[in-house]
Amino acid sequence: METITQTNTKKVSKPFKIYQVLIPIALGLIVIGWLFLDEFDPAVFFAFDFNYLSVLFILLALLLMSMRDFGMMWRFRLLTDKDLTWTQAFHINVLSEFTSAVTPAAVGGSSLVVIFLIKEGINAGRSTTIMFVNLFLDELFFLIVCPIVFLFIPLDQLFNSSSVIVSTFSVVFTGLYFTRLIWTTTMFIGIFRRPSWIKHILLTLFKLPLLNKLYGQVELLTNNLVQASNDIGNRSYAFWFKAFGMTLLTWSARFLVVNAVFMAFNPVHINHLVVFARQLILWVFMVVSPTPGGSGVTEYAFKEYYSDVFSSSSAIIFVTLVWRMISYYLYLLIGVMVIPNWIKKSFSKNNVE
């Protein structure tokens, strides 16, 4: 276990490079800049009725992001039986969001939560279980909320065909929805029903010639994983009600940020349920984007997808920039301020496990 932990932590212990922050920012701003150059109309900005209500809705958007972060921190503390302090939960949340923002989603914050938890004193098996439970709850929110919300919205409002990219959303979304359904079912079986299956698969894998040197460490890891999975699977219904309730609050707050930003610039004639539902669909594309934090791809897709909400292309481009500043660039800034001290503290000689 020590070998695996040291191998993984060495990857995280090196302070981030400045280019890791600049690349996603540059990608996003390049796309925004290109869209502005292509469709910029200065008259749009004079048409905005930006008043004290606009400021209040921008503040509401920031409050919703804070609620989202509080929910994530609260959930980390719940899943660790409050073994994490609020400060530790804050660090893990910031680290997770920052790594998600500077890497593609497939290799980003969710997978590194194990390392962050280990460095905060949670053993490897338990940390792995918590990571999978977090993923499971997030996917469960998506799988449950999507069909419920979509029941109240005509499909032509969800998948408007105003552009080529949007016209493909329905096909891609359907495929990814069922893919996530299969993945979530697999996680449920592995976490709650048959954790021994995960153990068997990993132990079989690490019997291979190139990996067998780590077999002993993996055996210890999987034993801890099975024990932690059995423990988490025996929790009460009240425990899971709290965990899913906080997941519901967390993701709802995050998606409602768009509604708040739209109200700041276009307070009338908005179907807010449609705006919210489209965020569910857009999230799928953000998660599978190959760029760091979905930068570039997200800005363009957002602009195209919500182009029917505003009468001007310039207006939606500006709103896209505001939304990304609140929901994405802000995490890069916070991460730059928080991570160096956390790395210095957590990976000092006295703290390396």
Tens-place pLDDT, residues 110-160: 667 888 898 888 887 788 888 888 888 999 999 999 999 888 888 777 876
pLDDT, mean of residues 12-41:
59
What is the pLDDT, as a whole number, of residue 2? Answer: 42
**What percentage of the chain has pLDDT greater than the value 90?**
20
What is the pLDDT, as a whole number, of residue 96? Answer: 87
192 — pLDDT class (breaks 50, 70, 90): confident
Tens-place pLDDT, residues 246-272: 999 999 999 999 999 998 887 667 888
3 — pLDDT class (breaks 50, 70, 90): very low
pLDDT, mean of residues 74-82:
92
Q: Residue 8 pLDDT more than 50?
A: no
pLDDT, mean of residues 35-59:
69
What is the pLDDT, as a whole number, of residue 349? Answer: 44
Contacts of 16-23 with CB under 8 Å at 24 or more apart are 16/102, 16/335, 16/339, 20/102, 20/292, 21/102, 21/332, 21/335, 21/336, 23/102, 23/292, 23/295
What is the pLDDT, as a whole number, of residue 243? Answer: 93
Q: How far is CA 156 from CA 146, 170, 173, 238, 274, in A?
A: 16, 10, 14, 39, 11
The residue with tokens 């700041």 is 264
32-46, 77-91, 149-163, 251-265: which has the minimum mean pLDDT? 32-46
**What percentage of the chain has pLDDT greater than the value 70?**
77
232 — pLDDT class (breaks 50, 70, 90): confident
pLDDT, mean of residues 276-288:
83
